[in-house]
Amino acid sequence: MSSKDIMEKGEKYLLHTYNRYPIVLERGEGVYLYDTDGNKYLDFGAGIAVFALGYGNSKFNDAIKAQTEKLIHTSNLFYNVPAVEAAEKICALTGLDRVFFTNSGTEAIEGAIKAARKVAYTRDSHTDHEMIAMEHSFHGRSYGALSVTGNPHYREPFGPGIGNIKFAKFNDLDSVKALINDKTCGIIFETVQGEGGIYPATEEFIKGVRQLCDEKGILLILDEIQCGMGRTGSMFAFEKYGVRPDILTLAKALGCGIPVGAFLMSEAVAEKSLVPGDHGSTYGGNPLATAAVCEVLRQFEEKDIVGNVRNLSPLFEDKLNGLKNKYGFIKDVRGAGFMRAIELDRSVGDIVKEAQKMGLIVLTAGANIIRLVPPLVIGEEDINEMYRILDEVFSKIE
């Protein structure tokens, strides 16, 4: 089948929930992707911040193959070796005590919301607790996650959501304070807002919310589905602020493409929240998915993936500042580590397509923002190449 045929069939049979780019991706190698016409792309999207370790990673592929030979699925009615190993590792890394593995990010958010509500219910037996989420946040597409997602465009057509959710302004502590009352059971936000445009939490905000939560017995839920797993230059973005959440959500790079997510919590939260019968998942944490997690975490350590992000972050920032200084239509560049945004004074749709034609894949975050979330294994030469292509694309604009 030609690329054109595949695209036509895709348009015919796949539910039209995405405006796809006219490219059929076929295989990957390192930080490069190849389409069915043989074109090569430097990938600064990583399948939406998923494929941290680069493509065609033979040890990763071997680990999955080996697990496939042994056992793909068991259900959670039994123990399995990879799930226990992955759980021990991820608890040690996060400093949290217990984990529940899910199949996606949105499911991790569902679990986090249920856990927070259950803690409050255990305390007072009421069923009218409230949560505070942030404007411009993104937490996923299932109902609970959608209900705490701050972008009304995603939420409104599907109302009513789960209810009792209030939205504060991100990085505005007073706006959070103003919404807290006796019914507030949790405050949820992304440590670095992703889809909303790459906005890191300020130190004042995250520390302030942590303190408010401690004073009032509210749970702090941090969503690090996108910004976690080394992306910002520390294993988890919250580490840099010297705070720890009560509940943490992970996905995306956790399985590097094998669908897996997780929500974690402190022992104090676990004791008062989900007990047998309260929550479950047929697939969640199955041996195939958690074998992938184990191998991802092993390679993070072996290759010092986080160190690579930290080392190259100044170069990345330099290059983006260089573009900003050169082009008046760039309003802002921001982010941390390998999670960066270029905000323009205009729509970036055509710019993204032009970059693709020149062999660079980038993402967007809203109409005016280019989002750069490359695999975490890129080298200096890849950042220079990204700069060269964007420079050329930008130079043609006016």
Ligand X SMILES: *Cc1c(COP(=O)(O)O)cnc(C)c1O
Position 262 contacts ligand X (CB under 6 A): no
Shortest gap between Cβ of 380 and ligand X (angstroms)?
27
User: In this structure, are residues 41 and 360 in contact, taking their beta carbons and an 8 Å threshold?
Assistant: yes
Strand partners, 28: 33
47, 194, 257, 284: residue in contact with ligand X (rule CB under 6 A): 194
Give the interface segment with ligand X, choosing from 87-95, 98-106, 174-182, 296-304 (CB under 6 A).
Answer: 98-106
Shortest gap between Cβ of 100 and ligand X (angstroms)?
15
Shortest gap between Cβ of 250 and ligand X (angstroms)?
10
Q: Tokens 């992707």 appear where?
A: 33
The SS3 assignment for 300 reads: helix
Q: What is the CA radius of gyration of the chain?
A: 21
The pairing of beta strand 130-134 with beta strand 247-250: unpaired
Q: Tokens 């890191």 appear where?
A: 200
| Closer residue to ligand X, CB minimum distance, 32 or 199 | 199
Neighbours of 290 (CB within 10 A): 28
67, 226, 308, 364: residue in contact with ligand X (rule CB under 6 A): 226
Residues 308-367 that bind ligand X (CB under 6 A): none
| Closer residue to ligand X, CB minimum distance, 282 or 325 | 282
Give the interface segment with ligand X, choosing from 150-158, 189-197, 333-341, 356-364 (CB under 6 A).
Answer: 189-197
Give the dihedral sign, CA 380/237/242/297. Answer: negative
Distance CA 187, CA 204 (A): 16
Strand partners, 364: 370
Position 110 contacts ligand X (CB under 6 A): no
Give the interface segment with ligand X, choosing from 181-189, 223-231, 262-270, 368-376 (CB under 6 A).
Answer: 223-231
Position 223 contacts ligand X (CB under 6 A): yes
253: DSSP letter: G
Contact residues for ligand X (CB under 6 A)? 104-106, 109, 138-140, 190, 194-195, 223, 225-226, 251-252
